[in-house]
Amino acid sequence: MRNLIITMAIILNSYSVTGKEVYKNASAPIKDRVEDLLSRMTLEEKVGQMNQYVGLEHIKANSATMTAADLKNNTANAFYPGFTVDSVAKWTEQGLVGSFLHVLTLKEANYLQSLAMKSRLHIPIIFGIDAIHGNANAPDNTVYPTNINLACTFDTLLAYKIARQTAEEMRAMNMHWTFNPNVEVARDARWGRVGETYGEDPYLVTCMGVETVKGYQRNLDNTEDVLSCIKHFVGGSEPINGTNGSPTDISERTLREVFFPPFRAGVNAGAMSLMMAHNELNGVPCHANDWLMNDVLRGEWKFKGFVVSDWMDIEHLQDLHATAENLKGAYYQSIMAGMDMHMHGIHWQRMVTELVKEGRIPESRIDESVRRILTIKFRLGLFEHPFADEAESMKIRLSSEHRKTALDGAREGIVLLKNDNLLPLDTSKYKHVMVTGINADDENILGDWSAEEKPKNVTTILEGLKQVAPNTEFDFVDQGWDPRHMNQKQVDLAVFRARSADLNIVVAGEYMMRFRWKDRTDGEDTDRSDINLVGLQDELLKQVAASGKPTILILVNGRPQGVEWAAKHIPAIVEAWAPGMYGGQAVAEILYGAVNPSAKLAISIPRSVGQIQMIYNHKPSQYFHPYTLNPSAPLYPFGFGLSYTTYKYSDLKLVQKEIRKDGSLDVSVRVTNTGERDGDEIVQLYIRDEYSSVTRPVKELKDFARIALKSGESKLVNFVVTPDKLGFYDKKMNWIVEPGKFFVMVGPSSEDAVLLKDSFVVK
């Protein structure tokens, strides 16, 4: 005890010797710095730390083009009617702003930070940004393939690498906090946000989410690390009618078995922020959901970070969900349910301060949130490094190493769906190729959450084709970028030209670029009541194919497209998703065989909207009575994807035939490349519980391995099945591993016919 007191005295003394406040001492423990700073803050400063604003340039641009009425449903653009950028700048100088979002240049970030540095306590701003697939929302950054592509690679090392590089590019722009990963389990193809998720499988989403969190944050103690934000908690990826933010009604069992695991794993991986979801969950809006924020997240999972609201969703407690009679009541509900930071706006400051002064919210509750936020600011080193160096910035962003990762990611994440011996293309046979379709020569391959980029930073598909096959003559028939307003004359022209080509390539899909917010057909707030090709694209495809010349369909989109006709009649189909800045090169390399495709679907592709909900891990009774006129099977199942080589699966071995509840099972399988090309195969392991006290899915992915195999090469792939992969919630919602028989299925996709099968018993 005596030693401790002496040590404390020395430490305290050393702080006063430096003449600095404890919170300014970089070598003091973060906890002490937080408490010291908190003790110096006024109530107004504390409330300000819990608030975000959109950036000044964003305000300027939108106040010039939007009306106050436009703000109501817009979740991407904002300004503050009645207030100018000067007001926001002044509040920043007064230390009343904790965070900004939608700041897109380093210059503006440094400027805003310089205002914060003028405030009484010099508390730095934390800048948040939607760096979903690279820091693509701000120009001049590497644009990696979007999350659904990444999931189709099944490459967790790549997920880590992309997150790490993104963190470096963000810090080079003075950005500290990415609103990613989106770890929602996507179970409805109508929903426009499918492309920013890792697909339909809880295990795959978990693996990708965890590596992404680790890649962004590492230990969150370095000036190259950024805070990650797992989102959106929870259920919005199974919206009741497919539209973003519509109600969700999901049982606690499904929440715990399907939707919670990626969030819980994200928390365990160290994610220090989390965003609530727009939607209500079983009658309670997520933003006022005490059970989610306090009981589950902080209670059960021991989350230590801070919770941020989604765009104007606290306001929506009043003006949409109507659980609060007025705005002040909405702030009250949300804070008391566990909210820490408000995205975003002007009323928070006054009303929350009043709520405390009126005694409705205890100041200790505010202190809790401010502690969490300040802790992150200290851990990120913002007090010591509030600015980023403009001279260094472009040495890091768009570096050749990062660009290469973007290209490699696209090569790994594009799925070959169909190939009737047409691919890879023979350049001597197909000398004259007609290329058409809305996505043939457009930046839309960058996908949602990307800014408009300089053309030199993007290789479109047409450019990729020309680059990869320089001696082929490409005849491009432009269909514009807009699927809603295609021109019949251009369609007719393509149909005419198709007849004289040796081969036709139709690049179809959806439109996702944010800078044309209202023209998109896919992406955030762009949900659909069908999943067919939009506009004249179907006609274009059918008529071009009617030329009798071989035709290839390339799809660029975020949500699955129900291309049933094409699957029957078109000899080759490639699902490119939104493959990022070098997506065009990767598509061309796959068509011409420079790259052997290896990706597998992270989401089932339904035939039509009527098949939704279409998931592979459904319950046994789902198709007890199949659909009458149409097949019940998906167009392409989860885990499916073709290669230019063939793989043989053999020798499935379960080392133990019986295990204890707490034991583990060793599984091995031999995979042989029986074709003539080297390739990467994604080996998948599924489990099914034979009989159980509550119903269990027909199969669930529990492990996978991405392996490289040279032509003729054979490898033994080993898996270990641990008890956590066999458990479920019993009738009383206790997590158990039930004794009995389990099936293990290993193979190249979730389709029964291609899986090797064996069983074991849990004692």
Q: Which residues bind ligand BGC (CB under 6 A)?
A: 75, 101, 130, 179, 231, 310-311
Distance CA(357)–CA(211), nearest Å, equals 43
Torsion of CA 651, 652, 654, 657, to 10 degrees: -90
Q: Rounded to the nearest whole angstrom, what is the least distance from the CB of residue 520 to ligand BGC in the complex? A: 14
Instruction: Give the DSSP H/E element, type plus range, for residue 603.
Output: none
Whole-number Cα distances in Å, 711 to 83, 590, 591: 66, 18, 20
8 A C-beta contact, residue 172 and residue 397 = yes
Does residue 344 have a cis bond before it (omega within 30 degrees)? yes
Which of residues 63 and 75 has its CB atom nearest to ligand BGC in the complex? 75
**b/e per residue 348-367 (b: at least 16 CB within 10 A):** bbebbbebbeeeebeeeebb
- Terminus-to-terminus CA distance in the chain, angstroms? 52
Which tokens belong to 337?
Answer: 């349910």
Q: Rounded to the nearest whole angstrom, what is the least distance from the CB of residue 525 to ligand BGC in the complex? A: 7
Which of residues 188 and 310 has its CB atom nearest to ligand BGC in the complex? 310
Residues 6+ apart with CB under 8 A from 670: 649, 650, 651, 714, 715, 716, 717
Which of residues 311 and 481 has its CB atom nearest to ligand BGC in the complex? 311
Distance CA(314)–CA(288), nearest Å, equals 8
8 A C-beta contact, residue 207 and residue 157 = no
Q: Rounded to the nearest whole angstrom, what is the least distance from the CB of residue 198 to ligand BGC in the complex? A: 15
Q: Rounded to the nearest whole angstrom, what is the least distance from the CB of residue 609 to ligand BGC in the complex? A: 23
Which of residues 105 and 656 has its CB atom nearest to ligand BGC in the complex? 105
Which of residues 192 and 637 has its CB atom nearest to ligand BGC in the complex? 192
Q: Rounded to the nearest whole angstrom, what is the least distance from the CB of residue 618 to ligand BGC in the complex? A: 28
Which of residues 496 and 517 has its CB atom nearest to ligand BGC in the complex? 517
Q: Rounded to the nearest whole angstrom, what is the least distance from the CB of residue 261 to ligand BGC in the complex? A: 20
Distance CA(179)–CA(172), nearest Å, equals 17
Q: Rounded to the nearest whole angstrom, what is the least distance from the CB of residue 539 to ligand BGC in the complex? A: 34
Which of residues 75 and 323 has its CB atom nearest to ligand BGC in the complex? 75
User: Which of these, 610, 592, 158, lies nearest to 413 by C-alpha position?
Assistant: 158
Residues 6+ apart with CB under 8 A from 307: 273, 274, 275, 276, 293, 297, 338, 339, 340, 341
Distance CA(681)–CA(686), nearest Å, equals 16
Q: Rounded to the nearest whole angstrom, what is the least distance from the CB of residue 129 to ligand BGC in the complex? A: 8
Distance CA(645)–CA(23), nearest Å, equals 61
Which tokens belong to 227?
Answer: 């805070």
Which of residues 523 and 597 has its CB atom nearest to ligand BGC in the complex? 523
Q: Rounded to the nearest whole angstrom, what is the least distance from the CB of residue 64 to ligand BGC in the complex? A: 20
Q: Rounded to the nearest whole angstrom, what is the least distance from the CB of residue 128 to ligand BGC in the complex? A: 8
User: Which of these, 465, 464, 433, lies nearest to 580 by C-alpha position?
Assistant: 464
Question: Strand pairing partners for 307?
Answer: 274
Which tokens belong to 316?
Answer: 């929506």
Which of residues 192 and 550 has its CB atom nearest to ligand BGC in the complex? 192
Percent helix, strand, coil in the chain, to 5, is 35, 20, 45
Based on DSSP, count helices (H) and strands (E) in the chain, helices before strands: 23, 25
Distance CA(358)–CA(326), nearest Å, equals 16
Which of residues 170 and 541 has its CB atom nearest to ligand BGC in the complex? 170
Distance CA(8)–CA(22), nearest Å, equals 13
Query: What is the per-residue DSSP string for 525-544?
Result: T---S--SPPTTHHHHHHHH
8 A C-beta contact, residue 407 and residue 414 = no
Residues 6+ apart with CB under 8 A from 143: 133, 134, 136, 406, 446, 450, 453, 457, 458, 580, 581
Q: Rounded to the nearest whole angstrom, what is the least distance from the CB of residue 102 to ligand BGC in the complex? A: 7
User: Which of these, 43, 104, 54, lies nearest to 78 by C-alpha position?
Assistant: 54
Which of residues 345 and 437 has its CB atom nearest to ligand BGC in the complex? 345
Which of residues 58 and 706 has its CB atom nearest to ligand BGC in the complex? 58
Which tokens belong to 594?
Answer: 């420079």
Which of residues 77 and 664 has its CB atom nearest to ligand BGC in the complex? 77
Q: Rounded to the nearest whole angstrom, what is the least distance from the CB of residue 240 to ligand BGC in the complex? A: 17
Q: Rounded to the nearest whole angstrom, what is the least distance from the CB of residue 231 to ligand BGC in the complex? A: 6
Which of residues 449 and 647 has its CB atom nearest to ligand BGC in the complex? 449
Q: Rounded to the nearest whole angstrom, what is the least distance from the CB of residue 410 to ligand BGC in the complex? A: 23
Which of residues 179 and 260 has its CB atom nearest to ligand BGC in the complex? 179
3-state SS assignment for residue 623: coil
Helices of type H across 218-286 = 252-254, 260-268
Which of residues 55 and 679 has its CB atom nearest to ligand BGC in the complex? 55
Distance CA(365)–CA(640), nearest Å, equals 50
Q: Rounded to the nearest whole angstrom, what is the least distance from the CB of residue 287 to ligand BGC in the complex? A: 12
Q: Rounded to the nearest whole angstrom, what is the least distance from the CB of residue 47 to ligand BGC in the complex? A: 21
